[in-house]
Structure 1
Amino acid sequence: MIKTIKVGIPGFCSSFTFADSHAQIIFMIDQHKENILKDGFTIIELGNASFIESMQNDLLLFTNNFLGSSLKVKKLENLHHELPIESLNEFRLKVIKLINQNQDFRKNLTDTILPHFQHLLGPDLAIQKNINLVISLPGDVTSQIPMHSDMWTGHSPFELNLWVPFTKTYKTQSMFIMPLDKWILRKEEFKNSKNTLQELTKLWEKDFVFVEVDPGQALIFWHNLPHGNCTNQETISRLAVNVRIKNLYTPYGDKGLGDYFIPLTYGPMTELIFKAKTQWD
């Protein structure tokens, strides 16, 4: 049985305020940095209700446009009531295209998470060119993602993954991940094992945790950790976007700058050098 875990800031409540809002932000970000170093992942509060509502409304609009109705789906968690499983992949690909054509969607997303990633990765950032959408409908065996590490498919270890759900996520409807301390103990076993990934997932079941993330929150995780999802045995659908972010100047894997990543932000020194270079040239 895989456990469920909700990782955040111990004792921190979103309604709690500091006199100095800057100090509040630094306190939160430092706590998330500690979570990343300890567990390899953390759950952040996006802190912008209008942003979440706007993105949810965009997804609902995309969904109902696909279904040919403005009334069918009123809550994303009820998507499975209207969308047949056999139409899921076509739907997902079309919505991904719409998401990536919508500049406001991308800007809302990046503006909200920038302070966290700049604190974790530095001021110069690169972001995955295309935002991805993952969907899990109740009982859909075709949407399982077996245990994997993104590094096994050529990604750089210097990347972090941002996972933003637009429905409540819990138990089998969520994703599972192996915390850093467990993976450190299992890594040598993995290297020498002759078992299949499916067999290892079963053997290591007690080491995985399902993450609980609510709308208005996001999961940041190091994608070197084994993670995946199983068949959704709950009663609601799950829709989440994910995107990878890294420091612009750290090593790239098979996914390079230009073809897979694009610059997101430049730090003061980089801007200074660019400015000076234009004057020299």
Structure 2
Amino acid sequence: MPYTDFLPAEERALGEAFLKDGYILAPAEDRDALDAIRDLVVTEACRWLECPVPADPGLFLNGIADRVPVDRLNAFRLHVIGAMNAAPWLRPAYYAIARRTLERVVSNELCMQRRINLSIQMPDDDSSLLPIHADTWSGDSPFEVVLWIPLVDCYRTKSMYLLPPAATARLETDMHRFASRSADDLCREYDRDLVWIDIPYGSFLLFNQNLPHGNRVNREPHTRWSMNCRFKGVFTPYADKRLGEFFEPITLRPASRVGLDYDYPEGFGA
């Protein structure tokens, strides 16, 4: 769609990179907020395990497979997620980690997913796999983005992959060939095009969830811990995930609040 671009050069460059690559990888904009979230996760993990809080959070999280059996992993994860989402400061802290980038890529009037998700993928565990998919294929709005934040260094199969925009465009013209085939077939055919993104702790990934993405069995020696949350412009179209149910406005500007609250005077135009 043609439009007039009044954006400053720096913001234009960031947007062009997002459009070209399908993601932005950048250092946390509020490192204290990220460290506070990781400290909470470690504290709650230790509460569930009934063990002392370690001196090295990263070493503890990376080695969690030595402490939690796979058959207890979901109960463990649900405990930590519950504690995360019960902390009233956590969502503002999560947003602060990428606030400026979200404003430049998405909008300065945002809504945010009401609950933060947490993924824990232990080495060689096939119970936490996410086959290749684009979120719009299952009812998400194409205006949403995902903010993906690791709590440990994530690399190779300990991370996630993304099909870049150019390859996705080819797939979309070819999708009919996969109508009766599996996600594994699709993944094998486009394997050479997949981009595995190394995301160290202290960084965030903001990606276009319209692009196919997923993970595989973690073949690295340590456990992956990552969080994810969706953002979109408040006034962009919604799909199955609705405002007030799944999303909540977080940065409404005064003029928008005035407009949303406005009612014409009684009898106006009569």
TM-score range, shorter chain: 0.7 to 0.9
1:170 and 2:152 matched? no
1:232-270 CA distances to partner (integer Å, 9 max, x unpaired)?
Answer: 000111111100000111111111111111111112421
Larger deviation: 90-99 or 26-35? 26-35
Corresponding residue for 1:14?
Answer: none
Distance 1:114 1:280, change over 3 A: farther
Corresponding residue for 1:38?
Answer: 20
What RMSD over aligned residues (CA atoms) do the two structures have, in Å? 2.0
Q: Which amino acid aligns with 1:125?
A: L
Equivalent-residue separation in structure 2 for 1:201 and 1:106 (angstroms): 33
Superposed displacement of residue 42, structure 1: 1.3
Equivalent-residue separation in structure 2 for 1:28 and 1:135 (angstroms): 35
Equivalent-residue separation in structure 2 for 1:165 and 1:85 (angstroms): 20
Superposed displacement of residue 121, structure 1: 2.1
1:141 and 2:126 matched? yes
Q: 2:75 aligns with which of 85, 90, 102?
A: 90
Q: 1:103 aligns with which of 79, 88, 96?
A: 88
Equivalent-residue separation in structure 1 for 2:53 and 2:42 (angstroms): 10
Equivalent-residue separation in structure 2 for 1:147 and 1:220 (angstroms): 18
Corresponding residue for 1:230?
Answer: 216
1:147-200 CA distances to partner (integer Å, 9 max, x unpaired)?
Answer: 111111110000000000010000011111101111011111123323211111
Corresponding residue for 2:40?
Answer: 58
Query: How many equivalent pairs are there?
Result: 255
Equivalent-residue separation in structure 1 for 2:263 and 2:242 (angstroms): 25
- TM-score using structure 1 length: 0.85
Equivalent-residue separation in structure 1 for 2:255 and 2:176 (angstroms): 41
Q: Which amino acid aligns with 2:63?
A: N
State the percentage of identical aligned residues. 28
1:156 and 2:138 matched? no
Equivalent-residue separation in structure 1 for 2:255 and 2:104 (angstroms): 16
- 5+ residue gaps, structure 1, are 1-25
Corresponding residue for 2:66?
Answer: 81
Corresponding residue for 1:68?
Answer: 50
Corresponding residue for 1:121?
Answer: 106
- TM-score using structure 2 length: 0.88
CA contact (8 A) 1:52 1:215 kept: no
